[in-house]
Amino acid sequence: MKPVRWLLIALFALPLAVFAAGAFWPRGLLLDAAARQEGLLILPESGWSNARFEPRANIERNLHQRSQGRYTVDDRCVDAGPAQKALDHLLHQARPHHGDRALWISVMAETRWRPSPCMQRLTHRGRGTIHYGRHLRILSVERATPIRCNVDLFVHNGRSCPPPPAPPAALHLDRPDLYPQAARQAGVEGEAQVELLVGPGNAIARCRILRSSGHADLDAAACPAATANPQALQGKGSAAGLATGMRRLIRTVRWQLKEQHQTR
């Protein structure tokens, strides 16, 4: 009976131990003393309670493992601690990263074992239980770079976002007859943005207005003007979500009376 007795004692003692740990060590148990940490900090829209950190070593390991279909999870919950004000300021400069905001950080931080809502999400467990895990408590920020591009691209490019591609130069259309007559007589000018779906052999599958010029006559003539210029159909464009051989091109048709209307 002794093993059963000790098992029952352990079952009753465990909740008390968990409660005592939370009461006496509200910041959690110290696992690793303060050290320099570098990696990706992601702050969801839900706020700091669900912030997470992924070490640089794990990100680089996953980039190498991707070709093998493998992925290692090593996310840690984050306690911004005394550095939260400085991090909030930097995160406001970061573009949304799939609804989140992201920083590449180099910080002095310690690792603690403690419960939080973040651990519930990372472990994919249900509510109503206590979820413990590793927390990165940030003590000071040495360096932080707002990420305004894809994280993989950021890492591949030496931990910086590559410059955006230069916009295509304006392409003059040698078709003055395409300027709507009513708009010409009324002295109307404007600029419309169109989306072209282009197939093999530059066949136009679809053209639609993305941004109106503010004038119905100019909008109606924007697609014929864009498709009339072979140069407007050049470029790789985007193939995301399209059938094989299809490209998505974004072009701007600018209607000007002093100069020829342009597509870029």
pLDDT tens series, the chain, 264 aa: 566 666 666 666 555 554 454 445 556 778 888 999 999 998 888 788 888 899 988 888 887 887 777 888 788 888 888 888 888 887 776 555 456 788 899 999 998 887 766 755 555 545 545 566 788 899 999 988 888 877 777 877 788 887 766 555 444 544 567 888 888 888 888 888 888 999 888 889 999 998 898 899 999 998 988 888 877 888 777 877 778 888 888 888 888 876 545 555
pLDDT in tens, 214-248: 899 999 998 988 888 877 888 777 877 778 888 88
Handedness of CA 141, 146, 149, 154 (dihedral sign): negative
Quote the pLDDT of residue 169.
Answer: 47
Task: For the sheet with 247-255, list strands across it.
Answer: 171-172, 262-263, 247-255, 190-198, 204-211
pLDDT in tens, 88-108: 887 776 555 456 788 899 999
How far is 143 from 105, CA to CA, in rounded Å? Answer: 6
Spell out the residues 6+ positions from residue 79 whose beta carbon is closer than 8 angstroms to its own: 27, 112, 135, 136, 137, 138
Quote the pLDDT of residue 19.
Answer: 47
pTM for this prediction: 0.53
Quote the pLDDT of residue 128.
Answer: 47
